[in-house]
Structure 1
């Protein structure tokens, strides 16, 4: 063979090696209807007709395996002790039993070879056996969802637990199956409950930390994992590994199902589209026929009467509900997009039931709801309006605001008008508003300084989008801590656009009645009556003080005495005692430079002269460290306290929950 042929072969082998290493770094199955060609299954495993991956059925002493057929690159290079790659996977499992005692569980598995050999059913979950259990040569990693209840030596928990298995069926760590709510409450999850459960498994190779999290189907991923384990998986993983599932039955049986699955190395696994996942088939459970026959013979005559009465009751109830959900649309309402049918909002809030109330104020109430057609949780603000003046103009602006899209803005999804009620539909924020973290003494959790600083930057980015980046200038007019909402990951989002005003870039805003919340209204509004982006900057400055000091803009220390936050901060700054205003709940756990920046930036934003204030884009540059706020900057304040001036202004005030009302008849 000549040199050119040798070179061609070498380059071909190199190209094949590169292609092989690039295979199978990520996949996503929203159901498994067309996934048979991508899976390697053995034992009892199969794909049902509607696309559910079934690992076992209700036969005793049974094993089932289902693996992704392509190998995954888990270690960059075994020969030089490269770190194991990070990986992330999420899947929805469902364990269904019909005999009252399930068994024995299932596991997510990473193994060097398939099919798995020398394995046993029952307590070994189809992973290992008495011959090889505990051998380091297994190179086997598994997260078990164990439902067995016995006392054999390999069982590390009585039942209903989640464990991490390394080459051994006895877990290195095992905890009862549960999830943590946003309030850090531990809620038990019954693995044998027959309902789908979503699981997230994330390994960070740099930090060498493994996180395992579970939650009931359709709930968002909990902020706190169920298991967080410091572990180096490099000794466990080979260069290439297979990922999949294993399940087994013993004396008792269960159907073990997987409804959807995604996996990725070096980044987060793709999100499953939960609304597209198929559900497992359900087997009818037979009842004793002798007793049923006796009951039928006794009740048959009574049932006819009861059915007729029930029919009349249901018809009457249906007609009442139809009247409650009815609506008469005016012609102009059909001109504007993003309108929700009233009946959808009525049903989604269980008839605006008091159990669904998230908050209330002078404007009305906010309800937690579900849009059933989209399977999406929302917050519905119900505003009781006594005048139709300005409603059409207001809805026109709402329809325009509904087109905004930004990660730090709570999206206004739409609106609905029925009689005198106006309903605004927003994205639901599971962690509520920032002010409850700052001021609610009953809340068990406290925001760290890093979390507070991140939220302040989030809101600044959101205001830049409103003021400069969207197609029109949007002045929010009610920036405050109660309108800063937190999503499941505690990202800050600016919400409640009931008072927002829009005008074209380069144009001047119109004069309007003064609305907002006492303590946040900029002093120039009493003279000009024009809400500008500078008004929002002033309110953002007060928000900076709230977050840093942990105090409300105005606090009443006695019946006739009040502490005005902005005056207090200004006075401490003048006396060179600026850091004495810091929230004591931080316990001095904060970055001094960041804290000084936030406080001085608050003074910069809350200056009496609007032209002296920075723009929100300048604010983001300061917060990101792109620009330096000079120590020589001179803050301009009027002699007359701007916040005391606020107390003399006509305004649309907040109620006890801090959510501002909307005045359709006053300046919209």
Structure 2
């Protein structure tokens, strides 16, 4: 009996000892794996940067922040410092030791954005310099942490104003027109004047940030594409926001600078009306905002599209010209849409005779959409990010 007890106790002790040893071995492997991941992440980041520099003939001079600096700046990503939630993760306000205010985009580990999309945004924004593009101050990549550090925009995004019943009053027509022109000039820079030539692919109200003077800055280049000799490309994975996508991109994956032009046209109509294209409601018909604007245009009363709070600050001729430009940008066929340089010219020259717009794409709301959970997310003031794979327009 005593022998049996000794054997049992020895067996139990042996199992416990094996368990303890196994646990410590497992923890040691995890620690080594984390260290290796951190090393590999940084190595991949450097390699991607070097490859990008070689392929684009430029130097990527971008500060690399360490996590301790970012943690201190954002008070360890406290809830009080959170200023937004995007499809790829939360955004926090922070302050560097120098006193400079920053916005930190922290990539969620379960988001659909990987190192490729992260690097895409880093490389693109680091090489772009325009007063109407958000400025990237640096990035941080340590272990599984990936963060982008931007200049802080005190007025957040455009959708926080134009779709808010109270704050929309802070944007009279003069400021709204200035925002339209700023976005247009930034797109001219992206499409033809910058050394990279870029298609944004996700232009929308929540990606237009506003500085202290209410000047617009385009942000979020996570799915932007560089184009060279080929002016049109095709992708199997359509990513973006329903309501702003051009028909050819949403339905077949074809995208070009004219895809951005379509999105810009939607933005123009939203800025003028204070209404969202996605989810627009009218008691007399089932048209979306684009369709409603087209209907009013054909009835020769386009001014009825204008936000009611603008009635005392608008010039009818100016606003009708902007509506016409917006409708030219959202025409069904890409070849019918103007270039952004033509748009700037049409908006700037009051005496120019504008072409008559043809029927736009996606006049009706459609329920034939499939949401890609790897991309969908929420913005600080809206929740309308979905990936569209099937749509029917007319």
Return the TM-score normalized by structure 2. Answer: 0.76
The question of 1:359 aligning with 2:88 is answered no
Map of 1:287-306 to 2, 5 A cutoff? none
Deviations 1:110-157 (A, max 9, x none): xxxxxxxxxxxxxxxxxxxxxxxxxxxxxxxxxxxxxxxxxxxxxxxx
Residue 324 of structure 2, aligned match among 579, 600, 613:
600
Residue 433 of structure 1, aligned match among 133, 136, 157:
157
> 1:502 and 1:512, CA in 2 relative to 1: closer, same or farther beyond 3 A?
farther
Aligned-CA RMSD value: 3.0
Give 1:334's aligned residue: 46
The question of 1:549 aligning with 2:306 is answered no
Map of 1:103-502 to 2, 5 A cutoff? 328-330=38-40, 331-335=43-47, 336=49, 337=60, 338=62, 339-372=64-97, 374-386=98-110, 391-392=115-116, 394-396=118-120, 398-443=122-167, 445-502=169-226
Contact 2:133 2:217 in 1 (8 A): yes
Whole-Å separation in 1 of the counterparts to 2:170 and 2:119: 38
The SS at the match of 1:547 is helix
Deviations 1:74-131 (A, max 9, x none): xxxxxxxxxxxxxxxxxxxxxxxxxxxxxxxxxxxxxxxxxxxxxxxxxxxxxxxxxx
* Pairwise CA distance, 1:580: 1.0
Contact 1:546 1:553 in 2 (8 A): yes
Contact 2:242 2:385 in 1 (8 A): no
Deviations 1:577-613 (A, max 9, x none): 2111110011342011110011111110000101100
* Pairwise CA distance, 1:359: 1.2
Give 1:522's aligned residue: 246
The SS at the match of 1:537 is helix
Matched residues, number: 333
* Pairwise CA distance, 1:474: 1.1
Whole-Å separation in 1 of the counterparts to 2:305 and 2:383: 26
The SS at the match of 1:509 is strand
* Pairwise CA distance, 1:654: 4.9
More helix by share: 2
The question of 1:584 aligning with 2:305 is answered no
Whole-Å separation in 1 of the counterparts to 2:74 and 2:155: 19
Give 2:365's aligned residue: 644
The SS at the match of 1:456 is helix
* Pairwise CA distance, 1:368: 0.6
Consecutive unaligned residues of structure 2, counting only runs of 5 or more, are 1-34, 50-59, 388-394
Deviates more, 1:646-655 or 1:483-492: 646-655
Contact 1:365 1:383 in 2 (8 A): yes
> 1:606 and 1:393, CA in 2 relative to 1: closer, same or farther beyond 3 A?
closer
> 1:347 and 1:562, CA in 2 relative to 1: closer, same or farther beyond 3 A?
farther
Whole-Å separation in 2 of the counterparts to 1:511 and 1:392: 16
Consecutive unaligned residues of structure 1, counting only runs of 5 or more, are 1-325, 664-668
* Pairwise CA distance, 1:482: 1.5
Higher relative contact order (CA 8 A, sep 6+): 2
The SS at the match of 1:499 is coil
> 1:420 and 1:395, CA in 2 relative to 1: closer, same or farther beyond 3 A?
same
More strand by share: 1
The question of 1:503 aligning with 2:230 is answered no
Whole-Å separation in 2 of the counterparts to 1:370 and 1:582: 39
Contact 2:168 2:274 in 1 (8 A): no
Contact 2:377 2:383 in 1 (8 A): yes
The SS at the match of 1:417 is strand
Deviations 1:231-273 (A, max 9, x none): xxxxxxxxxxxxxxxxxxxxxxxxxxxxxxxxxxxxxxxxxxx
The question of 1:573 aligning with 2:297 is answered yes
* Pairwise CA distance, 1:435: 1.4
Whole-Å separation in 2 of the counterparts to 1:661 and 1:414: 26
Whole-Å separation in 2 of the counterparts to 1:562 and 1:655: 26
Give 1:124's aligned residue: none
* Pairwise CA distance, 1:329: 3.0
Contact 2:120 2:221 in 1 (8 A): no
